[in-house]
Amino acid sequence: MINECAEGARKLATVSLEVITGGQHRSGAYIAAPSYPPYAYAWLRDGAFCAYAMDLHGHAESARAFHSFVTRTVLRHRRLFDAADPAVEEMPPARYTFEGRLEDNAGELWPNFQLDGYGTWLWLLRDHEQRGGALLSQDRAAARIVSRYLQRTAAVPCFDCWEELGNRRHTSTLASVIAGLRAAAELLREDAPSRAADSLRERLLRLHVACGSFVKFEGSSAVDGSLLWIALPFGVVDLHHPLMVRTAARISDELVGSTGGVHRYLGDTFYGGGEWIVLTAWLAWYRAATGQRDQAARGLAWIQASARPDLLPEQRTEAAQYPEMVTPWVERWGPVATPLLWSHAMYLVLCANLDR
């Protein structure tokens, strides 16, 4: 399946499948990063894209196990999803233990109220079914719980996909919720999720745009690499929509670093604000989908060159925006997370789409 990527890509793709398989707990959960203690949990967002990559590469049983993990976890914590007016700290979390339990808060507090993972899971559950995966009645029961939760909370400010800025309404988060509600409408054959998705899309087009492009959050004028999600894979707007074209152009112009990778956003200081594997893969995916295959191939090559030696990190810091901030993070949490399962997953997604 990795024809265009040549022998080096075949090796890294094989390693990537092994890393994701090795990082899947017997419960079906995927660990975010096996050798980086702060990430020794199962994020719904990271796990969803790992399952997506496994589905794309013919490992449906791995994706199925992940869906079973999420279903059990949602049903176990139904009271969190059904609460009428919970405090932010009582919202369903972005990450769980591998057994699907809430983490204890004995360690460093984590900004856990995020909506993108739940929207992404609903979108993926529908995608899995469309690829021939069988869904159980409990999967649909969990999907209904999550759908109703997102319909109530979609416009509530929450932390973004980077666990930052908890007082904002984030554009990529909103895109994932829209995609999730659209998927729920199909999965459950209900009209309410579709109506909610349409209303949210109208809000996105009205309030999350500036300078002719989508922006990082409502009221901002900046871009974020995660804005590519709006078109790929969520399809909230078409790849060729003028706003999407302008957004991708701004990401290319403003966020591609000196070595060729993509920064999360300008002003990022986490490990100095380096160039991220997942976002470089996303921009290359967008370029491949819009016929810019040479540029997509350069993104692929950059990712391959980032392997240390065969494992992909979360980010590269050679071209960090704030080099003086690399060491403080290393001293606090250790070296950059390597391997990051999400990085390997997005490499596999890119390879699959280049082969098309």
Residue among 280, 215, 284 nearest 246 (CA):
215
**Residues 345 and 52 sit within 8 Å (Cβ to Cβ):** yes
- 314 included as an active-site residue: yes
Q: Residue type at 32?
A: A
Phi and psi for 224 in degrees, rounded to 5? Answer: -140, 140
Structure-block tokens of residue 177: 């919720």
- Fold for 3-355, please state it: Glycosyltransferase (1.50.10)
CA angle, 319 as apex, 315 and 320 as ends, to 5°? 70
Mean of the pLDDT values across residues 162-183? 97
pLDDT of residue 85: 79
Q: How far is CA 196 from CA 45, 62, 202, 233, in A?
A: 21, 31, 10, 19
pLDDT of residue 106: 52
Active site residue: 163, 164, 254, 355, which one?
163
pLDDT of residue 6: 62
Quick: pLDDT tens for 312-346. 999 999 999 999 999 999 999 999 999 999 999 99
Residue 99 burial by Cβ neighbours in a 10 Å radius (0-12, 13-18, 19+): middle
- 324 included as an active-site residue: no
Distance (Å, whole) CA 328 – CA 320: 13
Structure-block tokens of residue 344: 């390997």
- Label residue 10 by pLDDT band (50, 70, 90): confident
Mean pLDDT of all residues in the chain? Answer: 95
Active site residue: 160, 224, 268, 275, which one?
160
Cβ neighbours around 295 below 10 Å, total: 16
- 7 included as an active-site residue: no
pLDDT of residue 1: 44
Distance (Å, whole) CA 40 – CA 71: 20
Cβ neighbours around 337 below 10 Å, total: 23
pLDDT of residue 4: 46
Distance (Å, whole) CA 111 – CA 203: 25
Quick: pLDDT tens for 13-32. 999 999 999 999 999 999 99
Q: What is the pTM of this model?
A: 0.96
pLDDT at 267 over 70: yes
pLDDT of residue 355: 80
Residue 104 burial by Cβ neighbours in a 10 Å radius (0-12, 13-18, 19+): exposed
pLDDT of residue 7: 64
Active site residue: 46, 55, 139, 314, which one?
314
For the chain, domain boundaries: 3-355
- Label residue 107 by pLDDT band (50, 70, 90): low
